[in-house]
Amino acid sequence: MIKAVVKTAPPVATAFPPASVASPADRLPRIYRPLASTGRLVLVIDGSPTIQKIAELTLRREGYEVCCFRDGIDAMRWFAGPQARIPDLMLVDLDLPKLDGYRVIQKFKAKPRFAHTACLVLCEREIPSQAHLEQMGVAGSLRKPFTIQELVTAVQSSIADPLSMLA
């Protein structure tokens, strides 16, 4: 019969602290976290994931809270949930899947709680006339593709004075 003797080494003290595992939130780029929050909520309703991401990153960097949806139906479902709150601005693409942007705006504006929510339409084709935008209760429009500066300026103007872009 063979007997085995196992000797363990005493613990060694090191100059390095134990490694910690970073959480997924810590791995996010910090550059996109706002320095100071405006407390304003902007909804982005656009079928393009690229437009959603550009708008989200740009507006978060400017201090806005942003929620993105691929269509108006997803946005309406979100509003039915407990986490929903009234947005200060809705960026709505006119060429949405399932329910076009005109209908989305019409459905939201029909509810009294959205009376003070500004709307800004995003369009790839021709921009609706000023009279049509006023009739819809829309603050203004941005033609795709737009620059980051155009987006920021339009959002700031629309939230400061919802009718300023129509003048």
What CATH number has the domain bearing residue 52?
3.40.50.2300
pLDDT at 35: 54
User: What per-residue confidence (pLDDT) applies to 1?
Assistant: 54
Question: What pLDDT is stored for residue 83 in this prediction?
Answer: 82
Helix axis angle for 148-160 and 49-61, nearest 10°, is: 70
- Quote the tokens at residue 97: 């899947």
- pLDDT confidence bin for 26, thresholds 50/70/90: very low
Could you say which DSSP state residue 16 is in? S
Pairing assessment for the beta strands 89-93 and 65-69 based on DSSP bridges: unpaired
State how far the Cα of 23 lies from the Cα of 114, in Å rounded to an integer.
37
Please check whether residue 98 lies inside any domain of the structure. Answer: yes
pTM of this prediction exceeds 0.95: no
Q: Letter for the amino acid at 105?
A: I
Chain mean position to CA 12: 50
Give strand ranges (E) for 58-130: 65-69, 89-93, 118-123
Give the range of the structural domain holding residue 63, as residue numbers without chain letter. 34-166
Rg (CA), the chain: 24
For the chain, what is the domain count?
A: 1
Residue 77 lies in a domain: yes
Per residue in 57-82, pLDDT (tens digit) is: 999 999 999 999 999 999 999 988 88
Model confidence at 23, pLDDT cuts 50, 70, 90, reads very low
Whether 2 has a pLDDT exceeding 80, the answer reads no
Tokens of 114: 């959205």
> Does 107 fall in a domain?
yes
Q: Return the closest-CA partner of residue 91 out of 72, 107, 76, 115.
A: 72
In sequence order, what are the residues at sequence separation of 6 or more whose Cβ sits closer than 8 angstroms to the Cβ of residue 6? none
pLDDT at 59: 97
- Residue 80: inside a domain: yes
Q: pLDDT digits over 111-154, tens only?
A: 898 888 999 999 998 887 888 888 888 998 999 999 999 999 99
